[in-house]
Every structure is written in C-alpha cells, then in structure tokens.
Amino acid sequence: MIHPSAIIHEGAQLAEGVEIGPYAIIGRHVTIGTGTSVGAQAVVGDWTEIGENNQIFPQSSVGAPPQDLKYRGEECWTRIGDGNIVREFATIHRGTVTGHSETIVGNNNLFMAYSHVAHDCIVGNGVVMANVATLAGHVTVEDNVIIGGLVAVHQFSRIGAFSMIGGGTMVGMDILPYMIATPSKRDAKLRGLNLIGLKRRGFTEETIANLKKAYKTLFMADLKLPDAIDRIRSEISDCPEVDYLLAFINSTQRGFCRG
C-alpha cells in the first residue's frame, strides 16, 4: 500500500508488496524490493537500492548525501540487502567518489534509533547497532557484531566478526574478531573473548578453547607480536577461526585495540 501523501519520484522502482507510509519521500534512481515497508515521514534518498523484507521506520533516513565537505553531488550509491530493520531517526548515507562510491549494508541487521552509518561504510550481516551508535566514514563492520549504545567508531576502522563493543566506547583502532571491547580513558580496551556470544552462535568448545589459547598467547605471554603469532601457528592447527584472527591482525592498517 502506498499512502496518497507520499512523494515518490517517477523514476523510482517499487516491487509488488512495498508499503510506503504517510509523507514519506522516495528519491530518483531508487529501487525497493518486495515486502519492504517505508514508514511515515521516512526519506529514501537518490541512488539507493533496498532489497526485500526490510523495515524502514518512521522519520529515518536512508541514502542521504554524505556529511563530507568534498562531496559535490556525484552519483554514489547506498545498497542495502534483505531483512534489515532501520529504526526511528537512524541514518545511512551514500558513498563518495573518494571512497568506494557506495555504502553497503548486508542482510538481517538492526539499526536502533539514532544510530548512524556514514559514507563508504561496509556493514555485514547480523549486525546490531544500539541507540546512537555511530560509524564514521569508511568503517568496515564484519558479520554478527554487536555495537552498544553511544559507541563512536573512528573512520577507516574495522570491527571483526563476532565481536562486541560495550556502550559508550570510543573506538580509534581495529577491534579483533571474537573479542569484547569496553571503554577506557583513551580508547577501546579489550576485555577478553566474547564467550557468551560465541556460545550463542554455536561455536564448539574446541574452537573456543583454541581462541582462548590464542588470546593468552597474544596478550598474556609477554611476547612480541610476531613471536606470539609464530607460537600460535606452531601450537594451534586446523582451526579456521584462529587462522582468521591471525589474518585479521596481519592485515590491519590502523593497529588494533589491546587489553
């Protein structure tokens, strides 16, 4: 159902079953998949692709121009997958030509009220961003991450898969996969493995034990990082999760938060 007060650009493509609420605005070059609803007074900006069965709640904004003074109205995109929930006053901005030219959101994510995804971010699947959680530009959030309320993530940072960031944390460097980070005086501080989250996601006891051993070697064995990595590789084999943790460390550009 499309409310008669909604304003929809003539070039927008809405699939069968899309719902558009009162006074919502749908821009040009927009496609919206079946089963998606756009609430009252929500805005879907130009150059936006939204998949199926998403819920865009009232007064949220998806696909608006980036908050980047270099942006001059170039064609840049916001691409959103399926099954996402964007709550009231949440904002997701399109990309820039100095970045990826697109902001990408995967599937089955929850963006709570007043959360913000800036230009050129990449958000994976199963991510939860609590109220007023904020991603600066060019941030990558991998799958199944939980970001607490009032968290602020610095531009170009990466948040590793299955990690959790406690409320009020200022994140200036990468957060390793499978970890919990909480506030400290200057930056996020690792508190250990996200054990409850890993168990809820079905990680085996053997995998969790290997990740514990890797964590202790990295942060509690009084070894330099290259030596710690070498020890982990020599002592732990056939564990894809540990392999991924080490690959994440080796590929970091900003450095990563520690305990």
CATH superfamily membership of 7-141: Hexapeptide repeat proteins (2.160.10.10)
Q: Out of 68, 120, 143, 174, which one is annotated catalytic?
A: 120
d(CA 145, CA 234): 29
pLDDT score for 77: 98
Q: Contact at 8 Å (CB) between 61 and 43?
A: yes
Render pLDDT for 42-62 as a digit per residue (tens, 0 to 9).
999 999 999 999 999 999 999
**What are the domain boundaries of the chain?**
7-141, 198-251
Is residue 172 part of the annotated active site? The answer reads no
pLDDT score for 185: 82
Residue type, 85: I
Closest by CA position to 228, among listed 216, 242, 212, 241: 216
CATH superfamily membership of 198-251: Udp N-acetylglucosamine O-acyltransferase, C-terminal domain (1.20.1180.10)
Closest by CA position to 114, among listed 57, 32, 51: 57
Is residue 119 part of the annotated active site? The answer reads yes
d(CA 220, CA 241): 20
Q: Out of 81, 137, 148, 160, which one is annotated catalytic?
A: 137
Q: Contact at 8 Å (CB) between 179 and 197?
A: no
**How many CB atoms are located within 10 Å of the residue 150 CB?**
17
Query: Strand 102-105 relative to strand 122-123: parallel, antiparallel, unpaired?
Result: parallel
Cα-based distances in Å from 187 to 86, 117, 151, 170, 251: 28, 20, 11, 6, 20
What tokens were used for 234? 């020599």
Sign of the alpha-carbon torsion through 138, 14, 127, 246: negative
pLDDT score for 187: 87
CB half-sphere exposure, 190, CA atoms < 13 A: 23
CB half-sphere exposure, 28, CA atoms < 13 A: 2
Tokens 């692709």, located at residue: 49
List, for the chain, all residue ranges whose pLDDT scores fall below the cut of 70: none
Is residue 174 part of the annotated active site? The answer reads no
Q: Contact at 8 Å (CB) between 228 and 222?
A: no
pLDDT score for 75: 98
Q: Which helix (H) or strand (E) holds 196?
A: helix 195-200
